[in-house]
Amino acid sequence: TAPEKPSVSERAPRAPPGAMSSLGFAGAKEPSPPALAPTLATSCAEAKQCTICFEAIASGIELPCRCTADYCAQCWDKALAKSFNQCAKARCPTCRAPVRVDYDADADTLIFGAEVEEENIDVTRQRLAQQLRPAQIRLLCAFGEAN
């Protein structure tokens, strides 16, 4: 049989007792690799990345479905618009659950919710057009005043 190989600790040369370590102190131990600082570890764990474009995002869109995927606002909007144009229904790009889209004129933002009841495409378009009308008027007035 072949002789057993010595373990790593048996193979490593040892300094004689009382010899200076690389730190310059007699009997001092070599430093262990630094542990990740808690803030770095948590920031890496909390860093979010868009599922579609892989760009880093501060906070993902609050999804109206049970998906845990993260999307940047631009990719989420594009995915819903593409879904709406292809199948006349806004759907989550991950689980394909129907998404209700509303516009909040006061906050000037889209609101996404779970679609509770089936809605005809024409009714959806009319509802969104009605919600968007005050924002359109506001933008056109601002443009008219500026020009």
Q: What is the pLDDT of residues 56-85, one digit of tens each?
A: 998 778 899 988 899 998 999 999 999 999
Residue 23 has pLDDT above 60, yes or no: no
CA 60 to chain centre: 5
Residue 7 has pLDDT above 50, yes or no: no
Residue 39 has pLDDT above 50, yes or no: no
Q: What is the pLDDT of residues 111-142, one digit of tens each?
A: 899 988 888 889 999 999 999 999 999 999 99
Q: By three-state DSSP, how is residue 65 classified?
A: coil
Nearest residue to 92 via CA among 66, 122, 73: 66
Q: Determine if the pTM surpasses 0.85.
A: no
**What pLDDT shows up at residue 128?**
92
> 105 exposed, middle or buried (CB, 10 Å; 0-12, 13-18, 19+)?
middle
Give the pLDDT band of residue 106 (cuts 50, 70, 90): confident
**What pLDDT shows up at residue 28?**
44
HSE, side-chain direction, 13 A CA sphere, residue 26? 4
